[in-house]
Structure 1
Amino acid sequence: MEAKKIDSSIQSRRNMKLFIILYFLMLVVIIFSSHYIARCKLEAQTSIIKTSLIQAGSELTLNINRYEFIPFALSLDDNVKQFLIDEYSDSLREKVNTLVASIRHRVGALDIFIVDADGMIVSSSDAMSPNTLVGHNVQFRPYFQNVKEGDTEHFYGIGTTDSIPGYYQAHGIYTKGKKLGVVAVKIDVDTLLTPHSRYGDKVFLFDDNNVIVNSNDTGLLYHSLINLDDTQQKELLKTHRYNNKNILPVDGMVKRKITDQTYDVLYQGKHYIQVNYYLPQLNLTLAQLSPINSLLFNTSLYAAFGFFITTLVFIAILIFRQKQQITSLKLERQKMLEDTNINLDRLVKERSHELEIKNESLAEQIKERINSERKLRSMQNELIRSEKLAVIGQLSAGLAHEINQPLSALSVLSENSVRFLELGQVDDVKSNLKRVTKLVQFIGRLSNQLRSFSRNSDDSTSPVSISASLDNAMVLLAHRFDQGKTTFVRIPPKSEVRCLCNNIRLEQVLVNIINNGLDAMEGISGECFINARWYNEGDQAVIKIEDNGPGIPHAIIGNIFEPFFTTKKSSGLGLGLAISADIINSFNGKLSVEQLEKGTCFTIILPLHSLD
């Protein structure tokens, strides 16, 4: 049974591979078909454009050639020759001006003018106009420089006087081999060039410098199809061909050559096919940009449609095959499900029994852990209480002295008051009673602080004034500063700082740290001090206790917060700092120590209580 299932699975995978290969082969066929169709359409469109350009170019050439007889005929005219020989006599000037003006009017040229041997225009069809060409020198023009006897020179350029572009045809005036001058006719190409273009086509005419001199798109006019080098730019400026215009390449045009006269062009975000047709008689090239975005879109649409149909067929076949496989699998799985259900019932019973045993064991473990945590908490509280009592024991002698002095003063003041009463000195009695009241308040404050310090406190948190906590700690430690040479210096912030913790626990930590500092500075000569600074930093309250004692050796500074680690030889269990660190940690704070250049600094960081 298993072998049959494996063979069936292998055969199914082979069929699927063959089917996928066939699917991709169909996609390749569709892609190549689309490419072939696009190529055929492109060739057809190119052929139509080329036919249109040939027709338009032939018409343009014929139209321009119609004017070629004019400079030829005038170069042979006796009046024109005599006019140049006589150096522009007034009698002939009027005849020549009238002649060229009459011819211009009949043929519809832009201008007809005669140039002498020095390049100066001496007669023109617009001689009667205020802006006449007469008097302008055109010796820099190629049609003047290159003209030969018996030949007609062709040139396209912009007029330097009227800035009107035109096609020039010039013929030399010679007599006995000597050049007397040149006759030139200027023709308006715009009126002669009438190509048949479709919507979106751009038709333009460019010269041998690849500069577009005529176009139905003004954005292309007087731009070059290539980058002109400095030599070409200087030559154009020398001949004033474009009336000193700065010729720049067509902005944003990218071309890819297909054939000698055909290009694939990307211009202004659109795809075009460019077809060129060279006009040899005019030395100009007629070109047309025809958009092919729709052709590309249609080709893509055809490819997408073929892909969609192929994919649809592929999916339909897959669905049919899967339905067959699903039907077969349903029968197999139904059998397997029945077997699985039997095994599952057996496993569920076994697992349920195991879970019951594990649940009972887990409940016992949880109960033991809860008891262990209670014992641990109790032991921790007992250690804290023991440490408190140890601190109180260390301070007891000093505290007894602090209480004995006021008691002695109370005894003396009481005896004096009795004596003053007997003498009737009531004012002195009042003064003594006031002093007694202050001494009693001092003893009460000391005893209250000692009782508060020694009692067990809960772990509840509330806003605690750091300044008040330092004051309460100093009540218990004031006698040590009074007896010794150590000075306690407060460096308070500008405004009160409150932290979130338990005030009794914080006071215990402060007493422990300050008391350790006093112990460390016993027997040290010189001025000793302990500084207390506190401030807020972001959302934290920071307390720094610094001393100028001998400091903690670097070798053991990392161990001072470990339980039962102590540097004191005569007293202490080494629990004070460990318990202090645990207390601060329980309030989401941190207790750290650092070695100063001289002395030690303990830093307490606690959550800040915001007044907002």
Structure 2
Amino acid sequence: MTTTANPDIATPRPAPAGRPGIAAPVRVRRDWAVFALIGLALFTAVTWLAGPVGRDRALGDIARSAEAALGLHVAMLRSELEKQRSLPFVLAQDPDVRAALGAANDRQRLDGINAKFEALSQGTRTAVIYLLDRSGTAIAASNWREPISFVGQHYAFRAYYLQAVDAGAAEFFAMGTMSRRPGVYLSRRIDGPNGLLGVIVVKVEFDAMEEAWGRFAETAFVTDERGVVLLTDVPEWRFRSLGPLPESDRAAVRESLQYGAAPLEPLPIAPDADAGRPDAVVATLPDTRGPAPFLAVAAAVPSTGWTLHLLAPTMPAAGRAAFDTRLIAGLVTLLALAGVAALLYRRHRALGHAARQAAAQAELERRVAERTHALNDANQRLTGEIDERRRVELVRQQLQEELAQANRLAILGQVAASVAHEINQPVAAIRSYADNAAVFLDREKPAAVRDNLAIIAGLTDRVGAITQHLRAFSRKAANRIEAISCAAAIEGALILTRPRLRRQSVRLAQDLPPADVRVVAERVRLEQILVNLLQNALDAVDGLPEAEIRIAVNVEGDRVRIAVSDTGKGLDPATMKALFIPFATSKPAGLGLGLVICQDIAREFGGAIAADNRAEGGAVFTVTLKRAP
């Protein structure tokens, strides 16, 4: 309010003796009444309008958090699918599987395939692996020992069999006819000289991943092209749909038995018209008493026709944020009103007694201190929550970066320790020659100094060659297949393995042709194959006396064969049989993927890798490649 020259208020006239002033107190009470009405209206409006602002801000934070969680869920699902997709491809190439299809009445052979499938299923955490003949009858399965064994069951009516026969491969999500458990069926056609031999099928179930999703605050579920729920951390929602399905779709699903006898009823999810956001929905979970508000986000799962949905709960976070915002806005408004009240009070202060003025001033200061203290407490809590959220986000980013960094450095770490001694020797020699050069310099012998410096330069070239090859080997391959020198690739592999050869006192013999031979390959990846074979040979002869490893190159027409042999104990039949099977290894700390990866690289070059035992003892691995013109 503005100060006016009203003599009744600003400069009150003294009241007659024995009668108190009447005009001033009446005006003071009226001013305070107006101020109280305006302040109450302002306080109500500000606190009411602050609620939606705080709620919208909280919903924005929830939406961003849900988007981040959605990315993690999609990555988890895609990783699980990609990990299993290679298994049908590998098994379709397995000679034992092909032989079993050609000898369906050989019970001993089929029992061997059953055992192999059983071991692979346990090692790769797949639900079941089974082999169908050309008629669609299962002749071998990983669950052959179980009461619900698939062996002898007929699956020609299943979509994954029909699609694999027609297109060569298929991916199909359905309810198991025997196990009554849902999962993805990955199938691949196996052809022989006369056409179709059969179909290999791998069933993947997602119980562990759904259980992991259940530990998140968000509710997750995956739908197919029709909107039917396939995967979810809410079991009661499985095989329900986002909306009512057309009767034609329901009839097709029923006829195919894809989802068994599931009701295909719509999910209890509806748009939340009161929220004012297109992504706001209300949903009823089985463990809740009624509909609850959520924010819905969705993303397509790459390489599939699926969509992953997340429902992020907005309560009580949104309500708490609205309350906190209203509290802060109310405190700020009260503080502002307190300031205005102080001004108004000062304007009226001249009308009161000096003692009343002091008491009123003390009361005002007390109230301001209380409001300020409450505001500071609220700000500190809000600041603490923001700092904690930033810290958690920073920790998450650091963990992701450390995981990526560890993955990049794993292969380089295997060879770095073995070449450390190789680098330490020339470094020590450099120090010695540098000290000698200083002595010769003091004795004024420049020729000797120059000789020492020349030797130091040669040693630095040696160190530089080793580190340069380490950098080249650690660099991502260009995937450019071309004509390369076979001898250069062998020498590059030996640079990385020669320190270990010396440490184990292993004799290295090389049988190379007089002229340089060029092969069709890629330099870094060919060195990767040779390093893997040399490392395996060194493991085979570790601790043996008079150990020897031989590298031989033979040219036979348009083919070049690089043989790496050792004088170890050789390969027993079980190890020989499982050499190129993923995750099968005889090493305690091995993953069983080294030779499988090398075989895939050789095949990409148009070649192959074979293993055998030498007559005089030990094993020999032969890499066959195309000879470059």
TM-score normalized by the length of structure 2: 0.43
Structure with bigger RCO (C-alpha 8 Å, 6+ apart): 2
TM-score normalized by the length of structure 1: 0.44
Instruction: Tell me which structure has the larger Cα radius of gyration.
Output: 1
